[in-house]
Amino acid sequence: MALDNFALRQEYLDETRVLTAKQIHGMSGVRSSNPSEPASRWKKEGKTFALRIQGRDFYPVFQFQDGAPHPVMKDVLATLPAGMTSWQKAFWFASGNGWLDGDEPQDRLDDGRQVVEAARQLAEPAHG
């Protein structure tokens, strides 16, 4: 099981560009001497999420637009089930979703309400 988990994470990192806090600092235009700013603040505010790898945070690039968090990210992240790990969130964003006609949520962020609804469906208990 641990090997499967490692393989899935490695495959994700092979296919998805991620950024360090320092890279986000550079693209954001924020004037601060702290290279972790604004990435750490945005994560704390629930506007982004990060994958913890060997003690460092890495941010999947899809969640940024024009040097800042995509406007819908905060709503999507707040709607996903509270117990999801960062890796589970990453896999959810990168997996085909029936509520989005099979598209990956990360590719449909501009359709904000639809992605929030897809997240809500995941959070809803199954009935049957």
- Count the neighbouring beta carbons within 10 Å of the beta carbon of residue 54: 5
> How many domains does the chain divide into?
1
Is residue 91 in a domain?
Answer: yes
pLDDT for res 112 = 95
Q: How far apart are CA 11 and CA 40, in angstroms?
A: 25
pLDDT for res 124 = 80
The predicted-structure confidence for 23-42, as pLDDT tens digits, reads as follows 999 999 888 888 889 999 99
Whether residue 38 has a cis bond before it, omega within 30° of 0: yes
User: At 127, is the pLDDT very low, low, confident or very high (cuts 50, 70, 90)?
Assistant: low
pLDDT for res 3 = 64
The predicted model gives 56-76 an average pLDDT of 98
Is residue 37 in a domain?
Answer: yes
Is residue 22 in a domain?
Answer: yes
Domain that holds residue 108: 16-123
Is residue 8 in a domain?
Answer: no
Q: How far apart are CA 6 and CA 67, in angstroms?
A: 30
pLDDT over threshold 60, residue 128: no
Is residue 7 in a domain?
Answer: no
Is residue 9 in a domain?
Answer: no
Is residue 92 in a domain?
Answer: yes
